[in-house]
Amino acid sequence: MAYSFDFTAVAQYHTQLAVGVGYTLMLTALGAVLGVTLGTLGAVVRAWRIRPFAQLFGLYVELIRNTPFIVQLFFIFFGLPALGLRLGEWQAAIIAVVINLGAYSTEIIRAGIQAIPRGQIEAAGSLAMTRTQIFRHVVLQPALQKVWPALSSQIVIVMLGTSVCSQIAAEELTFAANFIQSRNFRAFETYIVVALIYLALSVGVRALLNQIGQRFVVKRRPA
Amino acid sequence: MNRRTVLRFLSTSALALGLLANLPALADGLDSIKKAGTLRVAVPQDFPPFGTIGADMKPVGYDIDAAALIAREMGVKLELIPVSSTNRIPYLTTGKADLVISSLGKNPDREKVIDFTNAYAPFFNGVFGPADVKVSSAADLAGKTIAVTRGSVEDLELSKIAPTTATIKRFEDNNTTLSAYLSGQTQLAATGNVVAAALNERTKLRPLTPKFLIKNSPCFVGVNKGETALIARINEILAKAKKDGSLNQIAVKWLHNPLPADL
């Protein structure tokens, strides 16, 4: 085989890779926390048909779920300055990730809420629980329990999707990969290393989300 | 080898030699152009703004205007020969064209095959930005943001010479780099003068004016080896055109920026 592999050509850029991993995780963490919060809000509003917000959220969900992420990102970064709203690459990336995950998690969590049997809520009411108590313990928590695996998957998908943010010069992991590749021309080595890093990140984030799920959502106390 | 073959060989050789003596490359180029009354120039047809095919299907562009200027000064008719970037030098060396004016840069490999006159057009990579941003050297980039296409010559050079407080934003391709500049996401952009000219041609949103030069590789007129008289005549015409502003007019028309002083 004529090609000789040289992984030191990638190893010497370990700082860029580390910075890239840091930014990717930062984007994912902020996106997950804010996005799931937005999604929960949207799910409640849509499941309980609170006017006029239910319609607004419906529109938002359809708009985001039916357009590509990169177009949303480009619109925020390149398009909004025309209206005088100029966001830096990180602000644009975070907003794009949050609104994207917000839309998907709205639908995921709404499914969980709508799967709660009416009788369960009525039973809680007959036990003289307040509206807030019912919402927290009888609706939201069991709903999240049901959809937690789906939600975790969506967060991992969003994390992998943040690679698109390299297109607006946000220096996350894929940006680091493209940068390194443009300097050492070692496409095979660079992208396989970065692919393995993404794989490790996905496995790690999923494990972390499982832990969080067990601890805070399912609330199964460790034996 | 019998006698007849020898004879045939000798006569063909003599014929070949006779033909060789008549090859235009051996005659003085300047004289034969004047005698023919036509200057045949190889020009680009697919490289705006230096040469494209206009609405009337005739070649137009910087190179075509420069060729017309030279023909006018020589007092001969101009014949344009559209060429591609790969066959522009063969057209010259095989005598199908007298000159190559086809945004040709100088490099040692080409200098082995053909000769060059003085530069007639600017071709450079540099930092561009709005007229009111005061930047004239790499050091002035401190605290500024510059859009650049990742992995390009501009990227590699700027990464070396820009001060640490300058923010270089690297984008995937030329278009994203330009979009970032146009939408005001960066204060400056590093690109080629031709790209900048093309952008200034298409939009008045945020014009790109040159700030400083990163890498210079101006265009030269290509001439066959040994045509000293022709080279001297063209250099004379170019010097006059630079002085009286007629070459500058061509630059402003096609590149939307005046000729650099050092051309």
Distances (CA, A) of B262 to B63, B238, B240, B255, B259: 19, 14, 15, 16, 8
Cβ distance A178 to B150 less than 8 Å, yes or no, reads: yes
What is the residue-level pLDDT of chain B in tens, covering all 263 positions? 566 676 676 666 655 655 555 444 445 889 999 999 999 999 998 888 899 888 888 899 999 999 999 999 999 999 999 998 888 999 999 999 999 999 899 988 899 999 999 999 999 999 999 999 999 999 999 999 999 999 888 999 999 999 999 999 999 888 899 999 999 999 999 999 988 988 888 888 899 999 999 999 899 999 999 999 999 999 999 999 999 999 999 999 999 888 988 77
Q: What is the DSSP letter of B3?
A: H
Same fold, B25-123+218-255 and B124-216: yes
Separation between Cα atoms, residue A142 and residue A76, nearest integer Å: 36
All structural domains of chain B with their residue ranges: 25-123+218-255, 124-216
Of B150, B172, B179, the CB nearest to A78: B179
Distance CA B155, CA A178 (A): 13
Domain map (residue ranges) of chain A: 11-217
Range A11-217: architecture per CATH:
Orthogonal Bundle (1.10)
Of A82, A167, A182, the CB nearest to B176: A167
Q: What is the mean pLDDT of each run of 10 residues along chain A (223 residues)?
A: 85 95 97 97 92 94 97 96 94 97 97 94 94 92 94 97 95 95 90 97 97 85 56
**Which residues, in sequence order, are bridge partners of residue B126?**
B191, B213
In A, minimum Cα distance to B146 occurs at A169
Tokens 């490289």 found at:
B47
B155, B170, B185 member nearest A77 (Cβ): B185
Residues of B with CB under 8 A from a CB of A: 147, 150-151, 155-156, 169-172, 176, 179-180, 183-185
Residue A215: DSSP 8-state? I
Distance from B212 to chain A by nearest Cα, in Å?
Answer: 23
Q: Do B150 and A78 touch (CB under 8 A)?
A: no
Determine the pLDDT at residue A1. 59
Q: Which residues of chain A does B171 touch, with a Cβ-Cβ cutoff of 8 Å?
A: 167-169
The pLDDT of residue A170 is 95
B245 to each of A83, B20, B259, how far by Cα in Å? 42, 42, 9
Fold of B124-216: D-Maltodextrin-Binding Protein; domain 2 (3.40.190)
The whole-angstrom separation of Cα A164 and Cα A158 is 10
Residue B85, pLDDT score: 81
Are the beta carbons of A167 and B171 separated by less than 8 Å?
Answer: yes
In chain A, the residue whose alpha carbon lies closest to the alpha carbon of B151 is A182
Beta bridge partners of B146: B168, B188
- Between CA B52 and CA B247 the distance in angstroms is 19
In 3D space, the residue among B187, B131, B127, B133 whose CA is nearest the CA of residue B152 turns out to be B127
Which pLDDT does position A31 carry in this prediction?
Answer: 97
Q: Using CA atoms, how far apart are residues B76 and B34, in angstroms rounded to an integer? A: 7
Q: Rounded to a whole number, what is the distance in Å from the CA of B177 to chain A's nearest CA?
A: 9
Q: List strand residue ranges (DSSP E) for chain B, in order.
A: 38-44, 46-47, 51-53, 59-60, 77-83, 99-105, 114-121, 124-129, 145-149, 167-171, 188-192, 209-216, 219-224
Whether the bond into B49 is cis, omega within 30 of 0 = yes
Q: Distance between CA B162 and CA B167 in Å, rounded?
A: 9
Residue B25 pLDDT:
47
Angle at A179 between CA A174 and CA A181, to 5 degrees: 95
Instruction: Give the nearest partner residue to B151 out of A86, A89, A182, using CB atoms.
Output: A182
Using a CB–CB cut-off of 8 Å, the residues of A that contact B are 77-79, 81-82, 86, 88-89, 166-169, 175, 178-179, 181-183
Q: What ipTM describes this predicted complex?
A: 0.79
Please name the fold of domain B25-123+218-255.
D-Maltodextrin-Binding Protein; domain 2 (3.40.190)
Rounded to the nearest angstrom, the minimum Cα separation between A82 and chain B is: 7
Q: Please give the Cα distance from B43 to A150 (Å, whole number).
A: 62
